[in-house]
Amino acid sequence: MTRSAANPYSRAITQTDLNVKQGRTHSSPTQVYVRDAMTDTRVSGSWGPEVLDGDAPRPVSRLMPASSPAISELLPAPTSNGRTGILGRREVPTLAHMDVRVSVVIPTLNEEENLPHVFARLPPGVHEVIVVDGHSTDRTVAVAHRLRPDVRIVMQTGRGKGNALAEGFAMCSGDIVVTLDSDGSADAQEIPRFVAALCNGADFVKGSRFAQGGASSDITRVRKLGNRALSALVNALYGTSYTDLCYGYNAFWTRCLPYMRVDCDGFEVETLINVRIAKAGLVVHEVPSYERDRIYGASNLSAMRDGSRVLRTIARERVSAAARRPWRSGSRWPR
């Protein structure tokens, strides 16, 4: 894998051959380290020529948390020209300059008061905004149309955030998909940071409240401890280095959608996606993100209920992965 010399936002990539054994040995996959010039994050992933081909076992992606400026420096300023915007003291290319089509998927349920704040922070150059509405009883859909006449409204056929994201993904026509909450807690002006990381070689970019430079004014102590424990469990099982397993602010190339196969309904969807991305061996990049308090209304999140669903999802994905591995000769159990 190489980056074009014409791309001013990437630095040199070094490659070292190694053998990887995961069920069976692949021929000389390559370990690649990418240094992101904008977020100063080191990303690594290993793959052979079959990385995006079929169901062959894949090495697990690796990531290292960002070394980032203080939170005050993460708050974006409006762009002043057509090429770059200023993120604290760091210059970040605009979406127009990066020349990619970005689809933003926003699940909603009675968010008419929050949508004006969310839409106002969307950066210029977004290809499409897809609102997946869970049959709101307020004016959410009307407000979305008023704020952005070109918005695409999808009326959800099922229930829950997982189902809403799956239906939104199916409607995307862009090169890149960004998932954004509708309560105003995630800042849409961080989107160029996510897209820049994708353009620098990542397949999937995770926002993290716990990477250096990220934070949250909304998360409770119980949820923070639960998130840390669940992240540690997934990291131990899949060799990843996730710092924030349960955060829903993500971006990825649309070619990653077949690996996600979103088939859950609830808030466990972020964990499901992260685990399946790890199992596929795709290159993951974490960027710091700041989570604010919900602006209006009350959250539907329940730490105990949704935490138990996340734990069941991790267990189910682990069991399904073990069932697909070749059996060891003379052994009763799969490898």
Rounded mean pLDDT of the chain?
Answer: 76
Average pLDDT of the residues in 37-47: 38
Tokens of 187: 């800042």
Average pLDDT of the residues in 44-65: 38
Task: Give the whole-angstrom CA distance, residue 93 versus residue 97.
Answer: 6
Bridge partner residues of 86 (DSSP): 91
What pLDDT does 90 receive?
53
Q: Which residue has the higher pLDDT, 29 or 102?
A: 102
Q: Which residue has the higher pLDDT, 48 or 189?
A: 189
**Element (DSSP H or E) covering residue 318:** helix 303-324
How many whole angstroms from its chain centre is CA 200? Answer: 15
Which of 18-27, 221-230, 288-297 has the least mean pLDDT?
18-27
- pLDDT over 60 (residue 86): no
What pLDDT does 42 receive?
38
- pLDDT over 60 (residue 253): yes
What pLDDT does 334 receive?
37
Bridge partner residues of 287 (DSSP): 207
What pLDDT does 321 receive?
67
Task: Give the whole-angstrom CA distance, residue 273 versus residue 324.
Answer: 19
What pLDDT does 92 receive?
67
Task: Give the whole-angstrom CA distance, residue 228 versus residue 218.
Answer: 16
Q: Which residue has the higher pLDDT, 99 or 61?
A: 99
Which of 16-30, 117-131, 181-195, 285-299 has the least mean pLDDT?
16-30
Q: Which residue has the higher pLDDT, 11 or 191?
A: 191
Q: What is the pTM of this model?
A: 0.71
Contact between 221 and 300 (Cβ < 8 Å): no
Percent of the chain with pLDDT over 70: 66
Which residues, 6+ apart, have CB-to-CB distance to 58 below 8 Å? Answer: 22, 47, 50, 51, 279, 280, 281, 282
Where exactly are the structural domains of the chain?
69-324
Task: Give the whole-angstrom CA distance, residue 144 versus residue 46.
Answer: 42
Q: Which residue has the higher pLDDT, 32 or 43?
A: 43
Task: Give the whole-angstrom CA distance, residue 171 versus residue 158.
Answer: 15
What pLDDT does 50 receive?
35
Summarised one tens digit per residue, pLDDT across range 172-192 is: 999 999 999 999 999 999 999
Tokens of 208: 């993290």
Summarised one tens digit per residue, pLDDT across range 283-321 is: 999 999 999 998 887 766 666 776 788 999 999 998 876
Tokens of 331: 């052994």
What pLDDT does 302 receive?
62
Q: How confident is the model at residue 122 (pLDDT cuts 50, 70, 90)?
A: very high
What pLDDT does 215 receive?
83
Q: Which residue has the higher pLDDT, 60 or 259?
A: 259
Contact between 136 and 115 (Cβ < 8 Å): no
- pLDDT over 60 (residue 55): no
Average pLDDT of the residues in 162-171: 97
* Alpha-carbon distance values, 35 to 32, 60, 125 (Å): 10, 19, 26
CATH class of 69-324: alpha beta
Bridge partner residues of 85 (DSSP): 92
Summarised one tens digit per residue, pLDDT across range 135-157 is: 999 999 999 999 999 999 999 99
Task: Give the whole-angstrom CA distance, residue 192 versus residue 188.
Answer: 9
Closest-CA residue to 166 (of 279, 102, 258): 258
